[in-house]
Structure formats: C-alpha cells, structure tokens
Structure 1
Amino acid sequence: MFTYNDSSASAASVMDGGRKALGGFGVTVRLEQGEKELAFVSQEEKRGADELGSHTIIERVYQDDAERPEAVVRLKLRCYDRFVLAFADGRIVSENDFGNHRAFAPDNGITIKLGKPEGIEGVLANYQHKDWWTRPHFDTDLTKLPGRTLSLLWRTDGAYYHMLPVCGTQYRTDLAGGTSNEEALHVRISSHQGGMTRCDTFAFLLGVGEDPYELAEQGVETALRELGYPTLPRRRKTYPEVLDYLGWCSWDAFYHKVDEEGLLAKAGELRESGLPVKWVMIDDGWSDIADRKLQAFDADPAKFPQGLAHTIGALKERFGVGWVGVWHTIAGYWNGIHPESELAAKYADYLFETNRGNVIPYPDAAKGFGFWHAWHGYLKRQGVDFVKVDSQSAVNNFLRHHRPVGASAAAAHSALEASVSMHFDRTIINCMGMASENIWHRPVSAVSRNSDDFVPRERSGFREHALQNAYNSYFHGPFYWGDWDMFWTQNHDDVQNAALRAVSGGPVYFSDALGKTDPLMLWPLIYGDGRIIRCDRTANPTPDCLTVQPSDAGMPLKLWNTAGGAGVVAAFHIGEGAAAAAGTVSAQDVPGLTDGPVLLYDFFAKTVRKLASGEKAAFELEAEGCKLYLLVPAAADGGATPIGLTNKYVSTHAVRERRASGGTTVVTLAEGGSFAFAAERKPSGVRVNGTEASFAERPGGYFEVDCQDARGEVTIEIVQA
C-alpha cells in the first residue's frame, strides 16, 4: 500500500509499507536561456476518492525565487493503494506579453529528480536505443539507466514495481539515470517544440504488485483511463482476422527489386508446395517514387506495367491468395511526398510542408484524413485488403519544432487509423514505431512491430532479435499484439525463429526468396487451412529471467505463454561462445498455471515426464540451441490427459474439448494429425470418429494415435474401463 511520508521536506517519500518507493523530489527546469534548480516552497495534502478508489493527493510547489518567480512547477502525486499517478504543472512567468519571452527548452524542459528506491534486487528497463526501436537494460544501478527509457520494472524481495512514463497530449516523459543515489533517477519532460511556457501533463505512473505481468497490464489500463484518450489497451482490442493466417512478405525475398513477375512466380511456387499461404504483403519497392518521395498512388509502372490491380487480381484468382496488403510509410514514402508531383498539387489541402521542405500528410486529424482517405480508397479499389505502415517514429523527426510531440503523434495516428478503419477494417501492421508518442497515441490498431528487423544474413542476429522481442513484449504487450517480424525457413537460425514465432502470440509470416521455402518448417506453426496456431496472449520472459540478462547469467532465455489450458515455455541459447546454458522448466514458469502435477512434453525430444507440484526439470542448451515445452495439467478425474497434436509446436492448441465419464475420455481436436495423450494405465481401446484405431505406447508413459487422414474436427475416444 502506497503512503506518503513527509517527516521533512528533504526526506519526503512515497512508501510501500516500510520501503521507500519514491523519494527526493527535486525539480529542475531547462529554459531556452539556461537551466534553473527550483527550490521547494510549500506542500498541500488532501483526501479524495474516484473509480480507482480512495487516495491521497500531495501537491508540492517549486520555484526559483520566493518574491518574483520566473519558473514555477507544481508536482502532484495521487497515491492509491497500488498505484501512484504523478502530474507536473509548470509555467514560465514573463513580465509582459510584448517583451522577449522565456520558455521551456524543447528537450527536458522539466526534470524531476528522484532518489534510488530501496531494496532493488533486479531491473528490467526498456529504452529507445534508436528512433524506431527499444531494447532491454538490466543494471540495478539506476544512475546507469539509459536516456529515453520508456518503462522501468524493478524487483524486491517481496514485490515488483513498474514505473511507466506517459506521453500526453503535448509533452512526453522519459526516464534516465541521475548522478548519485540521492538523484538516481531523472524524470524528463519534453515537448520538442520551442516557445512553450506552460506544461500541464500526466508524467508517469508507478504500480506495485506480486504478479509483474498483471501489474504491467493494469498499469497501462489505468494510465489510459486517466488520459481519456481513444487509445485502447490490448485487452480491449480485436486481433485482425487476416493475421490469424499464414502470410508471406516480399521484403527479404526481393527487397526494393519487387515486381509483378517475381510476386507471381513466388505465389506459384507456394501453391505448388501445398502451403496454405493466405496473405501476401507487397513491401517497400512497389511505389511510384522519385528522390525517395511518393509521386503517385499507383505502383511503379516499370515494375507493375499493368497496374497494381492486375497483380493483386492474379494473386487472388490464379493462386488462391485470400488477402493482399501493401506497404507505405506514415509520410507516404521515406522522405514524404514529392512537392513537384501531380499528387502534391491535387491534394495540397491535405498536405503540410515542413520548415525543412518535406511534404507530408497534414498534422491535423481532419486534414490528414483527407489524404489517407483518398489513397486508401484508391488502394481498396485495386484489391488491397490491409496495410503495413512504416517509419512511424519519424513523425517527431518531421514535426519537431512545428508541433508538440504528443499533438503531432495524436494527429498523425488519428488520421491514419480513421482511414484504415474505414477501408481495411482496422487491419494494419504498425512498424518502426516504438517511440513513446506512437505507442500512446494509436487509437484502435491492434498489432505493432515489437523489435528491430529480422536480419537473415547476420550470423548472430537471432540473439538480439530474440532478446528485443522477449523483453520489449513486457511493456509493449499491454498496448499491442507484437509483430515479431518475418523469418526465413531455410537459414542458419530457421528452427529458432520458428519456435520464437510459435510462442509469440502474434502473426506468423515468412519472406523466403524464390526456391528457398521449406514447407516442413512451417507446418508445425499452422493448421491445414492456413490458420496459425496462436497462443492466448503476448509472450513474456519467465519470472526467473524477467529481470536478468540471461546470457550474463549463463542461463537460457525462456518465454512463456498459454494455449488450450496448458503452459507453453520456449527456451533459447542467446549467449556468445560455445558454452552450454543450463536452466530449469516447471509450472512456476507460467503464472496462473495449476499448483497440481503437470505433464511436461518436450516437442523436439518427443518425451513426456510427470512433474509433481513444485518440481523442476533441469535441461541444457548447446550454443544456438532451443527447446519448446508444453506443461499440461494432469487430469484429476482419473481419465486420459490430452497432450494434443504433436506434429504442431503448440500441441494443446488443437484440443477443443475434453470430457471424461465412465472410464472413457472423449477429446475433440481441431483437425487430424499425430495425437498424443497420457494415461495412468494402458487403454483397452481407442476410436477415431467412431472407428477403432491403433495406438502406440511411447517412452515416458504416453500414447500416440495417427489420425492424419481424418478431415475437419476429429473426435477421439480413449477407453480405459
């Protein structure tokens, strides 16, 4: 329970029981003319209640001069049992309106300096290491926290604390390391626009709980409720139907050389292979551009001589592709829209020219919508079903000094998503958009890239790719289903990448070049109709490695999810060198899984082992190795326990229903395949769709039935009477 302790001005702190969670509360302002340290001058405390519960409101006032202040900041803390919401209200005072005004600097206009929280035993921070992407940081010394940190989780001996900076309607908050334990953590507030004399913003949220995963979900939901944005948390969004099926993307196959001939050749190859690829994404390279700027709505006539509609029609009619998407950036193309094009002239009312001369969709929701509505309407008429929108974190790069960062992002995303909702049923893959302003300001879109690009030709690329996806998912997952990017089915890291997608909970698509697809790598990820075997939620690192850099600790990276009532744990060796990584797997890796015994199924080894409550199974991974485990709660009624279709990575996903009565267990499966189940004693018989079937006993006390020839849903009866 959070309480406020104000025994003295310098010792003021937010306590959780007997432990200091926040303290120090120094304030600095950065003006366009220089920096000022503000002095604490007064404090007011009052009680209140709202839909989140009873709370205490603390308002602390800081200013630079007691008599004639130039800068005043009011820091307001609203303390609930499990959350603290922090607000900053700052203003710069000028003597008159016609003189030389002072204003907050565009970057770090206000900095709140906090002391080090007590009892830190582990840390997971996510920081923006590139304009587009975030990655994890684990050092418990908060003075080493990188700038542009967007999420900070720390673990103590009895709880987790999650600090979530907010991007408001104008200002964006980031975290960074300070200079000492007394000023260990800096909360930096920026507008990225000059001339701002008032800052009134929701700066950050701090939450506490025993379950770190639910803590992150509830923190995001609480913050969004407070903001009153149209932005929805992931748990209130709808996952797009298109992305529930296997897809193929042109990028790593053709890069910028994509054309109709290549697309149709690949589509024909995939059809011949028998793979049910249901969607195709035509990535960067199709657009009609000059000087890296968009100059027309239709495709490059040299690459698509009969137009985009002809190519899409052929993909659908000749090769059975269900949906086709196209790529573009949030500015039209990388450098915007060509100012000398007919396109720019025709849609001038909906376009904006920056001081640098770039022409982009207007940073006003209504005006910007006019451009997207025109283009997306055209694309829809050509047969396009959805879009991937790249370079989203360039919004602030284009509009820095033109608009406050929150305002520019909100306008850009509102305009874009209104059009996507109208024309493509909200189906969009957001990409290159992990900056805070993008994450907080997309109203309804459900899927967003969760890491830097898949890099197929980089030998060690999987390590960083897996690390980013695993740990970014902790703070990004409460907002979006993560897109963990495309992969190659014939590559040095193909198995690891397939297993990573199996547990991710997001889309599954590949980008093989002509002649390079291995169907056997994809079938374990999908059903016969092309539907992906998608876990229940976004994947996360297991509790034992959530606040630990796995490779530094000599342990595997482990990710957990759930499917079909079972836990799913994937383990990866992401360390450098040849040394093996040792770890354990147990029901404790999957929060909320049963406390009772579980059956541990090893997908790659094809073995089953029963684990008692609290028991852990040890394993080792060789360099670049991976494992995939299912933890299936053992049936408590004495009947058989279905493990599911073992020809699929996530076998339990296929189990639609289980019933047990009178010594017979009836299992309904999504489709046929290699069905496995465990039983305390050997069955007397098995029936598949009412017909007697043979079964084989496997090592470890489980049994397997071959029902691959069965079509549609399959009913298995296991008789033990």
Structure 2
Amino acid sequence: MMVRWSIFCCNIFLLLSFLIRGLRFMCVFRFKLWWMTQRMGTCGQDIPYETQFLIVEVRNGSNLLGRSGGAHPTALYAVFLPILEDDFRAVLQGNERNELEICLESGDPTVDKSEGRRLVFVAAGADPFDLIGNAVKTVEGHLQTFSHRERKRIPDMLNWFGWCTWDAFYTDVTAEGVKRGLESFKNGGISPKFVIIDDGWQSVGMDATSVGNYADNTANFAIRLTHIKENHKFQKNGKEDHRVDDPALGLRHIVTEIKEQHDVKYVYVWHAITGHWGGVKPDVNEMANYESKMTYPIPSPGVESNEQCDILKSIATNGLGLVNPDKAFNFYSDLHSYLASAGIDGVKVDV
C-alpha cells in the first residue's frame, strides 16, 4: 500500500477499509517491551495492539481483494507489513467493528509531525510461504534499510551446541561458576562449543535515589554501567571494590582458560543496547567521555495495553542514562574493542 500521509501529533490512528470477519488470520505482536508472540483468530477485533505482521486467509469475492467469487472460491492469502519510516513507526490493530486500523507513533512528544509515503505494505498470493518471503524482499528493495535473511551471513556458532549462563546463574554468574558449569557438561559427556556469559559480568552501580526493581529476583533494572571493563567476579583473584589494571588478569584469563581446557570455539558476552538496563551512569569519571545524560522514557500505549510491565515502569521512573549520540560510536568502539582484546568473539544484545 502506497499512500501519502502527514502527521501532526505523536500518536495517530488511521482506519483501513478492510473488514476481517470469518477469515482465518495469524499475526505476530509485541506483548512485552522486548518480546513478540503470535495469535490466531477469525475476527478483526482479535488482532491485538502492536501487531507487526499479519497474514489473512481470504477468498475470491472478499472485501480484502475485491474480486468476484465463483462457485468454488479459491483460498488466497493477504499479508500486511507495517512500515517504519522517517520518525514514525506503524503497527496494526483491530477494533470492535472488526475493522483493521493502523497506529502511527513517534514515541517522542517533541516529534509531532512528519511526512512520508509508506504506511503498510500489502500483497496477496496463493502460496503463503512464497508470499511472505517475496513481500519482505519487496519492502527491502523499497526501503533499503535492512537485508532479507537470505542475504545475511549465518554465524558459525549456530552450527554448534552451546550454553548460555543465564538460567544457571542469572546475575550471580562468576568466572568460577562458568568453569564449574563446563566441568559439569564434560562429566555428562557433552562439550559445548560456544558459551554466552550473560548479565552479571559488567561493572555496574545504582544511583543513591534509584529504587531497585528485580524481575523474578534476577536482574535489577535500576542499575547502570559504571565501567567498560568487567567486575571483580571476572578478574583473577578479584576483590570487590578493587580494580585490576592488568588486562591478562581481567576477562581474558577466563576466556583463554575455557577455550584451551574445554575446547570452546566461541565466547560471547551480554550487554544491553544502552550499555546496561539503566544505561550508562552519568556521574562516574570512567564513563565521562561518553557524556551520558538522564532521560525518562514514555511507555508506548500499545505495549501497556497488552500488559502492564513493572520493569518498564522502573526504567521510566528511575530514568535511563543515554550516551550522547555524538559519542555513541566511541562508546561501542571502546566496549567492543576491549572485549575483542580479551578474546570475546561476539555479543548478545538486549534492546
């Protein structure tokens, strides 16, 4: 669908002249801030907020395709792909009249107007699998802002069995714990070829005025990054509140050991896209070069309508330490360069 649109508010709803009633559909929607799931139904009112993909089984003669039906209507499929363009993103949702709506949102009260040409891409075809693949490729060609999966190189680590430390340790992970975990696998006759050291290895701290928020007694979403390098748990003979400057005694020592003694091919570590859940702490000397400033996110109404999220409330209340956009390249370059020097092969990033 190619239409011209102008927006003069940070959130707007547009009604599509599509009625979905008695037609099977499958959609994928954002039910949490960072998680997607699927839903199936037969009525437009069953299409939830924050739907980012929709495929509908239609027939000749339906109002979706506008074709005349024969004695034996043929099943066809229509796919809807909401588009991200300029400062606004589009998502789909149904209403109580079983109509399909587009919700456009900037996510920023200061961004209240924009103009573009693309809201939702719509295509139809007889084979749903070919239809979806071709639709994504068509949008790729128009926007030229992403690559279809067929054009992406698959990391070699996906060819191997691996282990992520999260469910074993949560944020209590330590270098010794990683070694014990690999020994346990070895004793069971299994040798993971890659390891992901999840949340718990970084140097972090809370503000004096922050209110801690622990999700299922695991991650604290009120803490912020205080240093590029690892915390004492991943320094050789490390002690709390004491930093080791020798790189060989930092993260590198555990990475080297598990690669050599357990034949691990790849070691990844976790970090949030903002550094940590609470961002980068503004008032610490070690992070001053990145000029972090406190911001207070405004939750998306669509996400909140699907599920109230205490974690999102915590981040909105305690704020997020965001690196100066002009310093973002330096921040990621410094972080990833240090990790590479320690033998880390990649990162798992939560958004």
TM-score, normalised to structure 2, is 0.76
Q: Which residue of 2 aligns with 1:316?
A: 259
Q: Pick 1 or 2: higher relative contact order, CA cutoff 8 A, min separation 6.
A: 2
1:302-701 aligned within 5 A: 302=233, 304=235, 305=238, 306-348=249-291, 351-354=292-295, 358-363=320-325, 367-390=327-350, 392=351
Q: Does the Cα contact within 8 Å between 1:299 and 1:307 map onto a contact in 2?
A: yes
CA–CA separation in structure 1 for the residues paired with 2:45 and 2:128: 23
Instruction: Give me the whole-angstrom Cα distance separating, in 2, the residues matched to 1:389 and 1:166.
Output: 23
TM-score by length of structure 1 reads 0.38
Rg larger in 1 or in 2? 1
Contact 1:128 1:150 in 2 (8 A): yes
3-state SS of paired residue (2:11): coil
The corresponding residue for 1:122 is 24
Give the superposition deviation at 1:258: 0.6
2:191 counterpart letter in structure 1: P
Tell me how far apart the structure 1 counterparts of residues 44 and 177 of structure 2 sit (CA, whole Å): 51
Question: 142, 156, 172: which is aligned to 1:226?
Answer: 142
Gaps of 5+ in 1: 1-84, 92-103, 393-721
Q: Which residue matches 2:192?
A: 277
Is 2:130 the partner of 1:214? Answer: yes
Question: Partner residue of 1:443?
Answer: none
Q: Structure 2: state its 5+ residue gaps.
A: 59-73, 207-222, 239-248, 298-318
Letter paired with 2:329: F
Deviation at 1:295, TM superposition (A): 0.7
Shift of residue 354 of structure 1?
A: 2.4
Helix, strand or coil for the counterpart of 1:318? Answer: helix
Deviation of 1:105 (Å)? 2.4
Counterpart secondary structure, 2:258: helix
Distance in 2 (CA, whole Å) between partners of 1:276 and 1:211 is 42
What aligned pairs does 1:150-161 form with structure 2 within 5 A after superposition?
150-156=52-58, 157-161=74-78
Match in the other structure for 1:167: 84
The residue aligned with 1:87 is 3
In 2: Cα distance, 1:237 partner to 1:105 partner: 36
Q: CA deviation at 1:201?
A: 4.1
3-state SS of paired residue (2:10): coil
Q: 1:299 matched to which residue of 2?
A: 230
Partner of 1:177: 94
Is contact 2:47-2:94 (8 Å) kept? yes
Q: Is the 8 A contact 2:20 2:100 kept in 1?
A: no
Show CA shifts across 1:83-110 (max 9, x none). xx3233215xxxxxxxxxxxx22122x5
**Structure 1 residue 318 displacement after superposition:** 2.0
Structure 2 counterpart of 1:332, one-letter code: G
Q: Is the 8 A contact 1:171 1:201 kept in 2?
A: no
- Aligned equivalents of 1:237, 1:259: Cα separation in 2: 34
Letter in 2 for 1:107: N
Partner residue of 2:244? none
SS in 1 for 2:252: helix
Structure 2 distance, partners of 1:281, 1:145, is 36
Q: What RMSD, in angstroms, separates the aligned Cα atoms of the two structures?
A: 2.0
Q: Post-superposition shift, 1:271?
A: 3.1
How far, CA to CA, are the matches of 1:302 and 1:248 in structure 2? 19
Partner of 1:105: 9
Q: Output the amino acid matched with 1:236.
A: R
Following TM superposition, by how much is the alpha carbon of 1:139 offset from its aligned partner in structure 2, in angstroms? 2.1
Cα distance, 1:86–1:225 mapped onto 2, change above 3 Å: same
Contact 2:290 2:324 in 1 (8 A): no
Does the aligned pair in 1 maintain the 2:266–2:344 contact within 8 Å? Answer: yes
Deviations 1:462-497 (A, max 9, x none): xxxxxxxxxxxxxxxxxxxxxxxxxxxxxxxxxxxx
Q: What residue in structure 1 maps to residue 151 of structure 2?
A: 236
Instruction: Compute the displacement of 1:353 (Å).
Output: 4.0
For the residue of structure 2 that corresponds to 1:115, the secondary structure is strand
CA distance in 2, matches of 1:225, 1:320: 42
Q: Which residue of 1 aligns with 2:245?
A: none
Aligned pairs for 1:184-203 (under 5 A) are 184-195=99-110, 196-203=112-119
Aligned length: 286
CA shift at 1:274, angstroms? 3.6
The answer for the alignment partner of 1:681 in structure 2 is none
**Corresponding residue to 1:142 among 26, 37, 44:** 44
